Amino acid sequence: MSELVERFQAGDVRALARAISLVERADPDAATLLADLRAVAGPQPPRVGVTGAPGAGKSTLLGAMIRVARRDKRSVAVLAVDPSSPFSGGALLGDRLRMDEHLLDPGVYVRSMGARGQLGGLAPGAAEAAWLLGAHGFAEVLVETVGTGQSELDLPSLVDTTVLVLNPNAGDAIQLEKAGVLEVADVYVVNKTDLPGADRLVRDLHTMLGLGTCGSWVPRVVATVANRPDGSVEQVWDAVREHRAFLADHPEGRALAAGKVRESAAALVAARARAWALAACERDGSLTAVDGRRSPHVIADRLLELAGCRAGEHTSNHHVRGRQA
Ligand SMILES: Nc1nc2c(ncn2[C@@H]2O[C@H](COP(=O)(O)OP(=O)(O)OP(=O)(O)O)[C@@H](O)[C@H]2O)c(=O)[nH]1
Ligand SMILES: [Mg+2]
């Protein structure tokens, strides 16, 4: 394992690929590896998430965004997460091919992974993989997910800036709001503006986003033709940079960023606590022995006591504790 850490630290791309494979299949070695790497890793780069309906032009946009970043000498890693599939490859193979032009550039790394969470949405493996890409030293980490309802809502927890790619044929902004997609993104990209209806969608979006925003970040709207080098993709990066500055410098942005870190940390605690609790019950059958009186609450209190948390400190007040066991 330490050899893998060494190779990873030395910038070996095969070590990175292997590390992502370990987290992807939740290999027992992954936890050790991540702990070892966390001990030595530097600060993480900011992440950008790109989501949108199938065919909206996400991969084309990402390809163009990579080109702009490389022109500015920034290295880029892309994680293409397909939450509908527990396996990588398949539907995302086309994406890899479209990004072919970057295959021989060591400053670009593209990786697909299937990652369906137990409760739908993105699996924890996706977050670990994104972290690995940052830890490996890429200046930009981009995450692509197909917008399938659930995943759109999950992506913002994984990235700093969420970009939603829309098309003129997606209907008007009122329809989009009804579909619930007008709350998830920091930057709205209307792609395929070479097609009819684009101007109206851009106008509608400006109006609706301006009305609906209560905080001080008004989501940016950028019109692009992702498959044509017309300078419009530079504006996507500009909008991302503006949002990063908001997160770093504005009090409200800083509060948002802190809240996100808090939520992520709490989710990690929940996942680890769950694994620990299941293992503890497995080890000591008497904890869950069915005697007709032990409610899950009582077992949970006992487990928390074992873990060193005093009953009453850890939960809200929704159940009465006593000596029921
Ligand atoms: N006319 C036009 N076509 C575009 C534009 N951007 C992308 N396309 C085309 O739209 C199609 C879909 O693009 P992709 O980049 O594969 O879209 P995607 O959102 O990644 O698709 P999935 O990964 O399948 O969800 C391709 O044929 C692109 O060439 C654009 O700005 N204008
Ligand atoms: Mg794609």
Our answer on whether the CB atom of 146 is closer than 6 Å to any ligand 1 atom is: yes
Report the alpha-carbon distance of residue 163 to residue 187 in Å, rounded: 5
Confidence (pLDDT) at 94 = 45
Residues 159 and 228 occupy one common structural domain:
yes
pLDDT < 70 regions, the chain: 1, 83-102, 115-123, 148-153, 170-174, 178-181, 212-214, 290-294, 310-325
Q: Same structural domain for residues 175 and 315?
A: no
| Sequence-ordered list of residues with C-beta below 8 angstroms from that of 54, at least 6 positions apart, any chain | 146, 147
**Whether residues 245 and 278 fall in one domain:** no
Instruction: State residue 320's pLDDT score.
Output: 41
pLDDT in tens, 259-291: 988 888 887 788 788 889 999 988 988 887 766
| CA-165 nearest atom, ligand 1 | 19
One domain, residues 261 and 272: yes
Beta strands in 1-147 (DSSP E): 47-52, 76-82, 108-114, 140-146
Confirm if 112 and 88 have CB atoms less than 8 A apart: yes
pLDDT for 146 equals: 80
| Contact by Cβ (8 Å): 76, 48 | no
What pLDDT, on the 0 to 100 scale, is given for residue 152? Answer: 60
Pocket test for ligand 1, best of 82, 227, 233 (most atoms within 8 A of CB): 227
In angstroms, the Cα distances linking 233 to 11, 26, 67 are: 29, 36, 10
Query: Are residues 79 and 32 both part of a single domain?
Result: no
Q: Are residues 206 and 258 in the same domain?
A: no
Per-residue pLDDT, 72: 94
Query: What integer pLDDT is reported at residue 251 of this predicted model?
Result: 94
What's the pLDDT score for residue 93? 43
Same domain membership, residue 229 and residue 241: yes
Does ligand 1 have an atom closer than 6 angstroms to the CB of 166?
no
pLDDT at residue 284, as a whole number: 86
Q: How far is the CA of 212 from the centre of ligand 1 (A)?
A: 29
Boundary (domain end) residue, out of 220, 249, 278: 249
CA of 229 to the centre of ligand 1 (A): 14
The whole domain housing 312 covers: 254-325
State whether 36 and 81 are in the same domain. no
